[in-house]
Structure 1
Amino acid sequence: MIKSILYATDRTENSAAALKYAYELSLRLGAKLMVYYGHEMPMIRVSVSRPPQQIAHHVIKEQQEILTAYCSKHLGHLEGKAVECVVERVELISQGILKKAKELGVGLIIIGRKDKHTERGLFVGDIGKGLQDKVPCPLLIVPNGMEEMAITNILYASDFEEADIAAIKKIVPLAKALDAKISIAHISTEKEYAGMDQMEWFKDMLAKKVAYEKVEFKLIFSDFIEEKLKTHAEIIGADLLVVLEREEKGILKRLFHKSLVKKIEDHISIPLLSYHKANL
């Protein structure tokens, strides 16, 4: 079960909703929330009166105070809450997030989706893409406009392969904690293979390895994968989309063959949880 969550923020007003989402999720899971801000500080020129190390120390201290004030503003007083504010000087945001996540051994990393209104544009596609292949744990990408954390229906986009069973096994504790249903869907072209037979095989394999009653399956035939996935998510009222990043070819390899963050911006309006096959 997830015991700690790292939420990386750019401290803009537009990302405040994602902060609240991360906090509410941490409460529901009984996990500690670490709010992380990576400060990109320019090279410090040598000063006669103050050493560069001293200047850097004061800058980080000031940024820490700003982050704490930001969290207090949107979450209320932090005293008594399982929330820790962390600021570090970084050269690259993605590297800072990865370093801190590995150092703390967190069970989940949360970032906000690209925000068109922020000048900094912290979590643009390149950062999200850079994290996907290297994160030591699942990566949750939350739209900045999410007003509340309510997960009752988890949509898992499947290839009906053994790797999906391992990923779903990881999702079950989350679903149980949230009392959520897991809706497993596979979108395929009719030319690919006997999808119904594959789904029945997958059902049997999953039943042997995963004990959870709130699971349903759906096989959808379509040549327009992104659009069909979005439509299906809306029809079933999905609150969270889960995908498994993998090297092999398959539905998700085609679906997210470009920037994953860019794709979900264009097609999916709900939070996305990404697992990497290497971490299963």
Structure 2
Amino acid sequence: MATLLVPTDFSKTATNAVHYAASLAVSTGSRLLVVHTVSVPTSALPESMPLLAIDTHLIEYSEEELQKLALQLKQTYALEVETFCLYGPFIPLVNDLVKTQAVDLVVMGTKGASNVLSKLVGTNTSTFIKEAPCPVLVVPGQATFRTVRHIAYASDFETEETVYLKQLFQVAAGLGAEVHIINVTSETELNIVPDEQVLKSIAKNFPRQNYSVAQLPHEDVVTGLREFVEENQMDLLAVSIQDRDLLESLFHHSITKELALQAFTPLLTLPANPYHYQAPRPTLPKGVPVG
């Protein structure tokens, strides 16, 4: 693991996620970026209005809070952090920052008091993690950091897993963690692709990776995953973020959204189309910096 990014709105839950990310950065020897966005509805300002017209007190407050947070992290964790205070829409700015700063993992709290973080638990949860170009670690509000040794990966055994497992094994290697692939079978879930076919594909594509596979019957997928995580002391639960078409959506309800809403353990989401960093790294994203 090389670069972590954690957004904050300075709420209690977001601050908890920042400290979680700081502990993770120290544990893995990673670079840590902390970002705050100052957002004003586009309808509230004409395009010609200069940046100075934005509430200067809010900008000053945001910058001061970021610096206080950076100092606190330095004193607590002996960790140098890079801070970004940006003006504009949250999701595009964070995604641009991910790409321009070669971020490997975004760490986010499940709730917040303002801007988009206030709605992370709900419809915006799936919106954000679907648009994220890299893995996202969603941290429950009361979660405390512990060294990650075991990661459970929830698979329906109906999907081509290569793109997701490639990311997962990379994250696991950075954490020094073992991967446990878990398939919870339910009578309400269709079994379209033979399980043996999926397992052969995984073994063929990842011959050098160590992992375990378990299949458990349960009438409710989310409850089954929860029980597996708790009984086997998993540190993270990983899920794939799939872009299903209309036909597939008729047969699959959003397991990922349910897991995010129930948030019983840190949730690692893996995108279907992860970015590949190739261009030279600029110092700032395409958003408008403030201050």
TM-score range, shorter chain: 0.7 to 0.9
Match of 2:198, SS state, is helix
Q: Which residue identity is paired with 2:216?
A: I
| Cα 1:26/1:79, change in 2 over 3 Å | closer
Aligned equivalent of 1:231, options 227, 234, 255 = 227
Does 2:124 align with 1:127? yes
Question: 1:86 aligns to what?
Answer: 84
Distance in 2 of aligned mates of 1:267 and 1:70: 29
User: What is the CA-CA distance between 1:164 and the residue it aligns to?
Assistant: 1.5
User: What is the CA-CA distance between 1:156 and the residue it aligns to?
Assistant: 0.3
Say if 1:157 and 1:243, in contact at 8 Å, map to a contact too: yes
Q: Which residue identity is paired with 2:75?
A: H
Match of 2:237, SS state, is strand
Say if 1:18 and 1:145, in contact at 8 Å, map to a contact too: no
Does 2:145 align with 1:148? yes
| Cα 1:53/1:237, change in 2 over 3 Å | same
Does 2:181 align with 1:184? yes
Q: Which residue identity is paired with 2:6?
A: Y
* TM-score, normalisation: structure 2: 0.77
Paired residues, what number? Answer: 264
Which ranges in structure 2 are unaligned for 5 or more consecutive residues?
276-291
Distance in 2 of aligned mates of 1:151 and 1:79: 18
Distance in 2 of aligned mates of 1:77 and 1:57: 31
| Cα 1:278/1:76, change in 2 over 3 Å | closer
Deviations 1:198-242 (A, max 9, x none): 1x4433332232245541111122231111111111111111111
Deviations 1:135-154 (A, max 9, x none): 11112211121122321110
Say if 1:154 and 1:183, in contact at 8 Å, map to a contact too: yes
Question: 2:69 aligns to what?
Answer: 70
Does 2:103 align with 1:106? yes
Question: 1:32 aligns to what?
Answer: 31
Question: 2:134 aligns to what?
Answer: 137
User: What is the CA-CA distance between 1:22 and the residue it aligns to?
Assistant: 0.8
* TM-score, normalisation: structure 1: 0.79
Distance in 1 of aligned mates of 2:121 and 2:201: 38
Distance in 2 of aligned mates of 1:87 and 1:194: 47
Distance in 1 of aligned mates of 2:149 and 2:91: 30
User: What is the CA-CA distance between 1:194 and the residue it aligns to?
Assistant: 9.0
Deviations 1:37-57 (A, max 9, x none): 112247589xxxxx9544659
| Cα 1:247/1:56, change in 2 over 3 Å | closer
| Cα 1:274/1:204, change in 2 over 3 Å | same
Does 2:144 align with 1:165? no
Identity %: 21
| Cα 1:209/1:245, change in 2 over 3 Å | same
Question: 1:271 aligns to what?
Answer: 266
Say if 2:121 and 2:261, in contact at 8 Å, map to a contact too: no
How well do the aligned residues superpose, as a CA RMSD in angstroms? 3.3
Match of 1:278, SS state, is coil
Say if 1:98 and 1:135, in contact at 8 Å, map to a contact too: yes
Question: 1:241 aligns to what?
Answer: 237
| Cα 1:190/1:129, change in 2 over 3 Å | closer
Say if 2:6 and 2:21, in contact at 8 Å, map to a contact too: yes
